[in-house]
């Protein structure tokens, strides 16, 4: 075996072993002595209990004799009270005495005492009491009295013999206990002194063989603490001292690697800061994608990197790529079918970080491209935008070694920023589209009003004006049809008024402004060609809320009639906890969507303007359910 065990290790182990043996033996002997003391004490206690039981048996026999003799002399029943009590207790007490008797001789003595006590009760005491009660004068004779005295004296003699033997055993046990205690004390003192001596010798050895070498090693620790991670100790120490020197050298190397890791972390944070700055400034998504792809490739030590967007569950499109050198790069703007191994295909199967260790012999366009570029392995992470799988970022290597374990977490830091940039871009595009829809809707409304005014009320008023002018000219002509002309003018005027009323109802129905949401929806339902159940509170709401809810219900019911093929519909509106919730359901074919030409897209902008929500659930073959929620202003908001 090596010198470690033959020198310092062996000596320390031997010294520790001897010390452990001495201390263990001392404590073992102490435990044995203590156990002996405990046993002797228990035996002594047992003897005391036996003596106590013998005394109680003697007292009970005396009670029997005294009670029966008093009854014989006085014939008074009061002397039989203690006698009966002793008569009841004596059998149990003799059994206790037998149980506490230790050793065959004492057990025999206890059994004889019990037999004689039982004989005394059965053959003398009880018959004597019976004889007295019968009035037999022979009960008080000298012979009877002498017989009883002999029986009692015999029992007492046996009790005295039992007690004398038990006291002798008790004295012997007490002497043994004292001897055991003295022996335990002596062993404790010897073991303690020997342990202290061995500990002192062991401490001196450690001081000479360990403490001084450790002090020398502390010098190297000071250099390392000052940042000199290149400092090393010559590994010449014996045993654990040599291990200590090697450990310090390992520590210095580990600190050096930690400093390198910190440098890499600073680089990573710098890259993240640059990307975050672009996201905060609202840079174009294409610029952010290119920057993220480059930073991922540089940080992960990859040769190539690419960002891909899912077009469906079976295809992705490459939208940004990076290469470390001028070698051919990964394709961008190209659509790839997800056949064979790839990061994008792996993320689809199990969302999360994915590694592809080899493309050898694999099929699919992505694997073919990887082999053509000499890619050996790839690692990547998904890009999740608002809970939806949007794409992946992948780094690829042409070398044989695998990517470090922390690569996935590094890429994952960038995917969050990419998701934020995409969400911001979508929000901006949605805002622009919403504004465009609002402008277009306003223009359409103005054109419709102009057309309706021109084709309806305006034409009627022009005809009424012409007719009135003809009527005025015909006033001087006796044969003219003045009255007919005036009637025609009135007809055109009434038509114009009706057309203007109809036009104003198209802007905001009068029944809605007068009767509220329930009345307005009721007017819409009255024109429907299918039954519609209506359950709406009579409560009035702010005009903007009522108008928005009315137009959503009107458009939804129009879609039910046009597209759903439903046989029945239902409208429910309830106000609760500061929110108006409107639900429109039908039993049609389903399959509707907000962006599918339903007419609800423009209304969603109006809903968004009131900080509301508009959701649609329309599984194919299971009807459609549209849910509108609009916040109701509080008292302070209503006052403003």
pLDDT for 610 beyond 90: no
Residues shown for the chain: 640
pLDDT for 357 beyond 80: yes
Please indicate, yes or no, whether residues 188 and 283 belong to a single structural domain of this protein.
no
The whole-angstrom separation of Cα 197 and Cα 19 is 10
Least reliable range by pLDDT among 126-140, 155-169, 196-210, 520-534: 196-210
pLDDT for 230 beyond 80: no
Give the CATH number for residue 74: 1.20.120.1730
Give the confidence band of 103 by pLDDT, cuts at 50, 70, 90: confident
Range 396-408 average pLDDT:
82
Range 491-518 average pLDDT:
67
pLDDT, residue 574, reads 93
Look at 434 and 26; give whichever has higher pLDDT. 26
Range 469-477 average pLDDT:
65
Give the CATH number for residue 607: 3.30.565.10
User: Which residue, among 515, 528, 586, 580, has the nearest Cα to 554 in the 3D structure?
Assistant: 528
Which residue's entry shows tokens 């910190």?
262
pLDDT, residue 239, reads 62
Please indicate, yes or no, whether residues 148 and 285 belong to a single structural domain of this protein.
no
- Among 366, 397, 423, where does a domain finish? 423
Give the confidence band of 628 by pLDDT, cuts at 50, 70, 90: very high
Enumerate residues 6+ apart whose C-beta is below 8 A from 378. 342, 343, 355, 356, 370, 394, 395, 396, 397
What SS3 state is found at 20? helix
The whole-angstrom separation of Cα 429 and Cα 424 is 9
Answer positive or negative: Cα dihedral of 430, 436, 442, 445.
Answer: negative
Look at 635 and 232; give whichever has higher pLDDT. 232
* Measured CA angle at 504 (ends 500, 508), to 5 deg: 170
Range 457-476 average pLDDT:
64
Q: CB count, 10 Å around CB of 388?
A: 10
Look at 223 and 519; give whichever has higher pLDDT. 519
Phi, psi of 410 (to 5 degrees): -65, -45
In a domain, 250, yes or no: no
Look at 175 and 505; give whichever has higher pLDDT. 175
- Among 370, 399, 423, where does a domain finish? 423
The whole-angstrom separation of Cα 89 and Cα 83 is 10
pLDDT, residue 433, reads 54
In a domain, 432, yes or no: no
Q: Write out the two tokens for 75.
A: 């014939």
Please indicate, yes or no, whether residues 198 and 270 belong to a single structural domain of this protein.
no
Range 616-625 average pLDDT:
88
pLDDT digits (tens, 9 = 90+) for 564-591: 888 999 999 999 889 999 999 999 888 8
Cβ–Cβ < 8 Å for 358, 381: no
Look at 451 and 138; give whichever has higher pLDDT. 138
Please indicate, yes or no, whether residues 306 and 380 belong to a single structural domain of this protein.
yes
Range 326-343 average pLDDT:
80
pLDDT, residue 2, reads 45
pLDDT for 519 beyond 60: yes
Give the confidence band of 501 by pLDDT, cuts at 50, 70, 90: low
The whole-angstrom separation of Cα 403 and Cα 385 is 26
Range 505-510 average pLDDT:
60
Please indicate, yes or no, whether residues 48 and 197 belong to a single structural domain of this protein.
yes
pLDDT digits (tens, 9 = 90+) for 263-312: 666 666 776 777 778 777 767 877 888 888 888 888 888 888 888 888 88
The whole-angstrom separation of Cα 133 and Cα 80 is 12
- DSSP characters for 462-487? HHHHHHHHHHHHGGG-TTS-HHHHHH
Give the confidence band of 604 by pLDDT, cuts at 50, 70, 90: confident
Widest distance between CA atoms in the chain = 182
Q: CB count, 10 Å around CB of 58?
A: 21
**Quick one: angle between helices 407-452 and 600-609, nearest 10?**
110
The whole-angstrom separation of Cα 52 and Cα 48 is 6
Which residue's entry shows tokens 């000298």?
142
- Radius of gyration of the chain measured on its C-alpha atoms: 56
What SS3 state is found at 284? coil
In a domain, 401, yes or no: yes
In a domain, 470, yes or no: no
- Among 378, 407, 423, where does a domain finish? 423
SS (H, E, C) 493-531: HHHHHHHHHHHHHHHCCHHHHHHHHHHHHHHHHHCCCCC
Look at 632 and 471; give whichever has higher pLDDT. 632
The whole-angstrom separation of Cα 488 and Cα 467 is 7
pLDDT, residue 163, reads 82
The whole-angstrom separation of Cα 630 and Cα 636 is 17
Please indicate, yes or no, whether residues 183 and 293 belong to a single structural domain of this protein.
no
User: Which residue, among 427, 421, 423, has the nearest Cα to 274 in the 3D structure?
Assistant: 421
- Give the β-pairing of 377-385 and 579-586: unpaired
Which residue's entry shows tokens 């690697």?
257
Q: CB count, 10 Å around CB of 513?
A: 13
Enumerate residues 6+ apart whose C-beta is below 8 A from 346. 354, 356
Range 73-86 average pLDDT:
83
The whole-angstrom separation of Cα 35 and Cα 323 is 83
pLDDT digits (tens, 9 = 90+) for 173-186: 777 767 767 776 87
Give the CATH number for residue 309: 3.30.450.40
* Measured CA angle at 238 (ends 233, 241), to 5 deg: 55
- End-to-end C-alpha distance for the chain, whole angstroms: 93
The whole-angstrom separation of Cα 457 and Cα 383 is 58
pLDDT, residue 587, reads 92
Range 127-155 average pLDDT:
80
In a domain, 156, yes or no: yes
Instruction: Out of 392-406, 422-436, 517-531, give the one with best mean pLDDT.
Output: 517-531
Please indicate, yes or no, whether residues 191 and 277 belong to a single structural domain of this protein.
no
Look at 257 and 94; give whichever has higher pLDDT. 94
Please indicate, yes or no, whether residues 192 and 282 belong to a single structural domain of this protein.
no
Range 197-214 average pLDDT:
70
Please indicate, yes or no, whether residues 176 and 30 belong to a single structural domain of this protein.
yes
pLDDT, residue 477, reads 60
Q: Write out the two tokens for 311.
A: 């077009």
pLDDT digits (tens, 9 = 90+) for 19-54: 678 777 766 766 776 776 677 777 777 778 888 888
Please indicate, yes or no, whether residues 44 and 148 belong to a single structural domain of this protein.
yes
Domain count, the chain: 3
pLDDT, residue 625, reads 92
Range 75-79 average pLDDT:
80
The whole-angstrom separation of Cα 292 and Cα 272 is 9
In a domain, 607, yes or no: yes
Please indicate, yes or no, whether residues 47 and 134 belong to a single structural domain of this protein.
yes
* Residue 601 Cα distances to 76, 359, 380, 564, 606, angstroms: 120, 46, 37, 18, 9
pLDDT, residue 94, reads 86
In a domain, 59, yes or no: yes
In terms of residue numbers, what domain contains 518?
A: 508-639
Please indicate, yes or no, whether residues 31 and 149 belong to a single structural domain of this protein.
yes
In a domain, 167, yes or no: yes
Share of the chain above pLDDT 70, in %: 72
**Single pTM value for the model:** 0.38
pLDDT, residue 4, reads 41
* Residue 164 Cα distances to 47, 160, 176, 322, 370, angstroms: 11, 6, 19, 109, 107
């Amino acid at each position: 075996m090596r010198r470690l065990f033959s020198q310092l290790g062996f000596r320390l182990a031997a010294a520790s072993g001897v010390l452990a043996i001495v201390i263990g033996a001392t404590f073992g002997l102490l435990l044995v002595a203590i156990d002996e003391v405990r046993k002797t004490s228990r035996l002594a206690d047992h003897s005391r209990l036996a003596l106590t039981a013998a005394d109680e048996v003697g007292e009970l026999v005396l009670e029997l004799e005294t009670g029966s003799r008093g009854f014989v002399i006085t014939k008074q029943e009061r002397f039989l009270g203690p006698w009966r009590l002793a008569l009841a207790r004596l059998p149990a007490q003799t059994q206790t005495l037998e149980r506490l008797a230790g050793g065959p001789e004492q057990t025999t003595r206890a059994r004889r005492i019990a037999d004689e006590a039982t004989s005394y009760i059965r053959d003398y005491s009880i018959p004597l009491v019976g004889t007295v009660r019968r009035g037999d004068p022979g009960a008080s004779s000298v012979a009877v009295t002498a017989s009883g005295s002999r029986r009692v004296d015999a029992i007492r003699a046996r009790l005295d013999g039992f007690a004398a033997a038990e006291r002798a055993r008790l004295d012997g046990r007490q002497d043994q206990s004292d001897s055991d205690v003295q022996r335990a004390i002596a062993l404790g003192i010897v073991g303690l002194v020997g342990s202290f001596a061995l500990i002192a010798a062991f401490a001196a050895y450690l001081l000479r063989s360990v403490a001084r070498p450790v002090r020398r090693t502390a010098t190297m620790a000071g250099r390392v603490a000052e940042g000199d991670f290149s400092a090393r100790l010559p590994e010449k120490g014996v045993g654990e001292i040599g291990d200590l020197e090697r450990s310090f050298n390992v520590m210095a190397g580990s600190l050096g690697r930690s400093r390198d890791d910190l440098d890499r972390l600073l680089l990573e944070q710098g890259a993240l800061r640059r990307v975050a700055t672009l996201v905060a400034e609202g840079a174009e998504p294409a610029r952010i994608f290119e920057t993220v792809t480059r930073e991922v490739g540089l940080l992960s030590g990859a040769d190539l990197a690419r960002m891909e967007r899912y077009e469906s569950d079976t295809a992705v499109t490459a939208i940004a790529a990076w290469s470390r050198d001028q070698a051919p790069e990964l394709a961008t703007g190209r659509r790839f079918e997800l056949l064979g191994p790839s990061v994008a295909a792996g993320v689809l199967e199990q969302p999360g970080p994915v590694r592809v260790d080899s493309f050898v012999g694999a099929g699919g366009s992505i694997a073919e491209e990887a082999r053509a570029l000499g890619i050996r392995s790839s690692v990547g992470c998904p890009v999740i935008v608002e809970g939806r799988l949007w794409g992946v970022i992948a780094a690829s290597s042409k070398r044989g070694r695998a990517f470090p374990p922390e690569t996935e977490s590094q890429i994952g830091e960038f995917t969050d920023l990419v998701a934020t940039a995409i969400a911001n871009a979508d929000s901006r595009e949605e805002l622009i589209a919403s504004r465009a829809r609002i402008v277009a809707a306003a223009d359409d409304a103005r054109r419709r009003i102009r057309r309706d005014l021109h084709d309806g009320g305006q034409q009627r008023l022009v005809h009424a004006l012409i007719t009135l002018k003809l009527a005025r000219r015909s006033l001087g002509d006796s044969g003219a049809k003045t009255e007919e002309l005036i009637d025609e003018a009135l007809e055109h005027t009434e038509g114009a008024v009706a057309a203007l009323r109809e036009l104003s109802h198209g802007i905001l129905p009068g029944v809605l402004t007068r009767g509220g949401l329930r009345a307005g929806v009721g007017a819409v339902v009255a024109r429907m060609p299918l039954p519609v159940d209506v359950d709406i509170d009579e409560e009035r709401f702010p005009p903007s809320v009522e108008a928005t809810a009315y137009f959503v219900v009107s458009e939804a019911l129009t879609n039910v009639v046009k597209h759903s093929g439903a046989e029945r519909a239902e409208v429910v509106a309830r106000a609760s906890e500061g929110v108006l919730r409107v639900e429109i359901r039908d039993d049609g074919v389903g399959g509707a969507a907000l962006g599918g030409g339903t007419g609800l897209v423009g209304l969603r902008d109006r809903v968004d303007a009131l900080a509301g929500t508009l959701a649609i659930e329309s599984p194919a073959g299971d009807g459609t359910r549209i849910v509108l929620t609009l916040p109701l202003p509080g008292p302070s908001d209503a006052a403003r």
